[in-house]
Structure 1
Amino acid sequence: MNLEKHYLSILESLHDAVFVVSKDSTIVYVNQAYSRHFGIPSNKIIGRRLTEMEPKARILEVLLSGKELVNDYSYVHSLRKDVCANLTPLMEDGELIGAVGIMKDISEVMALQEELKQYRSYSSKLERQLYQQEFSLLDSKNFKMLSVVNLARKVAATEASVIIYGETGVGKELMAKAIHEASSRMDKPFVPINMASIPESLFESELFGHEEGSFTGSRKGGKKGIFELANGGTLFLDEIGEMPLNLQAKILRVIQERTFQRVGGTKSYPLEVRIITATHRDLSEQIKQGNFREDLYYRLNVVSLHIPPLRERKEDLPFLISTLLSNLNSKYKKYGVVTPEVVDILTQHQWPGNVRELVNALERMVAVSDQTYFVTEDIPEYIRLKENSSEKAIPIQLVNSGNQDQNLDGLMEKTERNLIADALRKSKNRTEAIYKLGISRKTFYEKLRKHGLL
């Protein structure tokens, strides 16, 4: 087979555009693909000088240097196309006689890249808006709260472990989620778990998962634990102060070694997770009492955030009421607004249950009321009576003071029992009793068990 006779046929069969220029840049050949891709008949271009058509054509550099250009990207103004070309000098007896170019039209690819760039820019904008939205729920006019939120914004951009301190209901999980959403892990899982809600016998199984048959009642096929579910993302351990010491040692080992094993298994799973914890307890005091490991504390407490209770930042109540009411209106498809009198009464309340109690009170108002404007009668009775009528203190039936053998501890125990029992009698339900007593739900039930009132 004489290939020389078939060179033109080969060039014409190519799907890529081919053109050949002489030493003086005159176009001497273009194949059919060139005409097809760029819409220029060969007789309209052959014989013309490239220096006149496209003065900045890259192939002119090849004619000057005698060196090829491979995978060269450029924009051809005369064609109004983005192209990728391989440009090669043509030599005869060691002398440059011209150059050949093989080009692909990549205009669509470049357009897609530009579109992708715009989408990425838009995505970044949405991410920034989401970041602002997450922390907007924590916006405050209170100096202490502002300082906490600003520190949280800073730490969100790092991988530092965080402990969030605060009373029940102040929004510790909301703070943890805001940190996660503003971090580089925002597209990975955020897995919250309340340590106080897990029976001690199930701690390890819940945290690390278990293999099939590892214990009676274990799930067929095994089960992933929360460490495994949160891998790559953020694990939020709420009420970390309730964790028993033996489990604290295992958590510490997992954090140090960055691996864990399921209960009943031997396979080690790699761990790549950010840990945020929260507690209402004073962990430094817990350490002194021997209830919390000091080494684990320093692993978890790289940065500490102390969220003040709602009663210490009442200047935030109008904003919180407005924001929460807007969310609840959307949930219940209503358009309720509060009157200034309602805001005044809600602002006077001490909110022992913090933001969680506020949400509960507002949701009751939205769910029950048929009015567009919420008035004082719509406020939950336990708040309205206490704030508007200066509700009298619950009378306490003291033990017989004539009993000379009664010591102070015994007197306080019986007084506490009488106080709780009286609150239960005078309240419609236990929730109202909790609010009247001004204690957390967890503490309330602990004392019910302690005094045999359950």
Structure 2
Amino acid sequence: MNNTHIQAILDASHDEIIAIDRHFNITLVNKNATEILGLPNGIVGEKITKYIPQSDMLRILATGKKEIGDIATVLNRQIVINRLPIVVDGAIVGAVSTFKEITDIQKMEMRIRKQSIESGLEAKYRLDDIVGDSPAIREAREMAETFARTDATVLILGESGTGKELFAQGIHLSSSRATGPFVAVNCAALPGNLLESELFGYDEGAFTGARKGGKPGLFELAHGGTLFLDEIGEMSLPIQALLLRVLQEKKVRRIGGERVIPVDVRIVAATNRELEQLIADKLFRPDLYYRINVLTLELPPLRERLQDIPALTEAIIREIEDRGDKRVNVEDIVYQRFRQYDWPGNVRELRNVVERMVLLFRSDRLGEADVKFFSKKLERNGRLGGRQDTERTMIEYALRQTQGNRGEAAKLLGMDRTTLWRKIKKHEKFQE
């Protein structure tokens, strides 16, 4: 391979490259490097100190240590530089420097981010998509719109099934980060060690079974966008400490890694638990609470916005109709029955009930006959007693109907399995 061939390869590189021998003579330089550094052509063989008197490559010759990721400004351009010694038979015979403009790196990052969004890391629901015209839901939407104009952390409070993730997505799409990724994780669905690796990522060899090449965490994937931490009240204390550090320093370190990675992420957290009580029980860090509770959005339960039930039901039916050939109308008697119920599972429970009715309906109208199965829920409604009695009664009924299958009982109640398990523990009446 002749020198002309080698030079053609160097000039084809996307990186800027320049190398010297141990006598400070330039041994090779590609076209990109001469442009970035403002060097003339034909300088191979000349001493680098003629053009860059204080070249950092001289230090590499002296120390023999590589320097990775140094940031410098050259001719009003910010560049990231890697400097390495050239070692032959154990002796340092020269040094090589490769560098790239930060703007080029940012462009590549945006392409990677765009690919991530196209892979599913995106929000789909806008605040205008949230159904309902009751005063409570209108106030929640308006407050969410206000919060979206800032970049501060938002804490969404509400019972299970009230639409916390819908509001989180809506806030993201109404914010200046709308073109960035929206990444969601349910903190209750993953054990502590797995949640840590999901949030912060890991380097290759960090633990047995770690993916070759490592894996970026959700903070890295959410860079430039929003990270939604659902059920944050279920996060273990050790993970809370790690999360607090990332929020304070805006940097993340992968498990088993040494490199510190800057991240620009907006946090939206959500919980259906009383965080103040968790703090009193020493299950939640007060410093993390104050960090995430900058802006608070409380979502109303369905029982406080019963007037929205017709609009919600019709919206659910429209979604079902889009998936099949059924066309469904609803009689007023159905809405009357629905408004007599407390809906402990909120909108998620309403969705399950409506989907069941549509699946089993026998005519083009949902009426008295189609709502009969719902009568058992009304019999155990709990308007005769307190809210806790309602919840306990409904859980008992769901477990009996499913022969103790908690997964199926959770579906029947319109809540996820971890929420059902927590409610069972709360009432202390149910045994494993």
TM-score range, shorter chain: 0.5 to 0.7
> What is the Cα deviation at residue 430 of structure 1?
4.6
Greater Cα shift, 233-242 or 216-225: 216-225
Does structure 2 conserve the Cα–Cα contact (< 8 Å) formed by 1:339 and 1:375?
yes
Larger radius of gyration: 1
Structure 2: where are the runs of 5+ without partners?
1-122, 383-390
The correspondence for 1:191, drawn from 183, 192, 199, is 183
> What is the Cα deviation at residue 146 of structure 1?
2.1
Which structure has the higher relative contact order (CA within 8 Å, separation 6+)? 2
> Where do residues 135-154 of structure 1 align in structure 2 (5 Å cutoff)?
135-154=127-146
Q: Which residue number corresponds to residue 226 of structure 1?
A: 218
> Where do residues 197-236 of structure 1 align in structure 2 (5 Å cutoff)?
197-236=189-228
SS in structure 1 at match of 2:339: helix
1:179–1:250: structure 2 CA closer, same or farther, 3 Å change rule? same
Ranges of 4+ aligned residues in structure 1 off by more than 4 Å: 416-423, 426-441, 446-454
Alpha-carbon separation, structure 1, partners of 2:164 and 2:353: 19
> What is the Cα deviation at residue 214 of structure 1?
0.6
Q: Which residue number corresponds to residue 169 of structure 1?
A: 161
The correspondence for 2:377, drawn from 374, 377, 386, is 386
Does structure 2 conserve the Cα–Cα contact (< 8 Å) formed by 1:208 and 1:260?
yes
The correspondence for 1:375, drawn from 367, 372, 375, is 367
- Residue identity opposite 1:178 in structure 2: G
Does structure 1 conserve the Cα–Cα contact (< 8 Å) formed by 2:168 and 2:228?
yes
Deviation string 1:216-272 (CA, Å, 9 cap, x unpaired) is: 111122112111111111100000111111111111111111110111111111101
Does structure 2 conserve the Cα–Cα contact (< 8 Å) formed by 1:139 and 1:146?
no
Q: Which residue number corresponds to residue 445 of structure 1?
A: 421
1:319–1:369: structure 2 CA closer, same or farther, 3 Å change rule? same
Residue 151 of structure 2 corresponds to residue 159 of structure 1: yes
SS in structure 2 at match of 1:236: strand
> Where do residues 209-288 of structure 1 align in structure 2 (5 Å cutoff)?
209-288=201-280
TM-score for the superposition, normalised by structure 2:
0.62
> What is the Cα deviation at residue 434 of structure 1?
6.1
> What is the Cα deviation at residue 301 of structure 1?
1.1
SS in structure 2 at match of 1:260: strand
SS in structure 2 at match of 1:304: strand
Deviation string 1:168-221 (CA, Å, 9 cap, x unpaired) is: 000000000011111111121111110000111212111011111110111122
1:436–1:202: structure 2 CA closer, same or farther, 3 Å change rule? closer
Alpha-carbon separation, structure 2, partners of 1:356 and 1:249: 32
- Residue identity opposite 1:385 in structure 2: K
> Where do residues 29-428 of structure 1 align in structure 2 (5 Å cutoff)?
134-379=126-371, 381=373, 383-387=374-378, 390=379, 424-425=399-400
1:433–1:253: structure 2 CA closer, same or farther, 3 Å change rule? closer
Identity over aligned pairs, percent: 43
- Residue identity opposite 1:240 in structure 2: I
SS in structure 1 at match of 2:185: strand
Alpha-carbon separation, structure 2, partners of 1:226 and 1:376: 48
Does structure 2 conserve the Cα–Cα contact (< 8 Å) formed by 1:336 and 1:373?
yes
Does structure 1 conserve the Cα–Cα contact (< 8 Å) formed by 2:331 and 2:365?
yes
- Residue identity opposite 1:223 in structure 2: K
Does structure 2 conserve the Cα–Cα contact (< 8 Å) formed by 1:228 and 1:271?
yes
Alpha-carbon separation, structure 2, partners of 1:133 and 1:225: 24
1:316–1:417: structure 2 CA closer, same or farther, 3 Å change rule? closer
Alpha-carbon separation, structure 1, partners of 2:402 and 2:224: 47
Does structure 2 conserve the Cα–Cα contact (< 8 Å) formed by 1:209 and 1:222?
yes
Alpha-carbon separation, structure 1, partners of 2:358 and 2:415: 25
1:326–1:418: structure 2 CA closer, same or farther, 3 Å change rule? closer
Alpha-carbon separation, structure 2, partners of 1:170 and 1:243: 20
- Residue identity opposite 2:358 in structure 1: V
SS in structure 1 at match of 2:132: coil
Deviation string 1:12-51 (CA, Å, 9 cap, x unpaired) is: xxxxxxxxxxxxxxxxxxxxxxxxxxxxxxxxxxxxxxxx
Alpha-carbon separation, structure 2, partners of 1:265 and 1:271: 16
Structure 1: where are the runs of 5+ without partners?
1-130, 394-415
Alpha-carbon separation, structure 2, partners of 1:132 and 1:247: 29
- Residue identity opposite 1:323 in structure 2: A
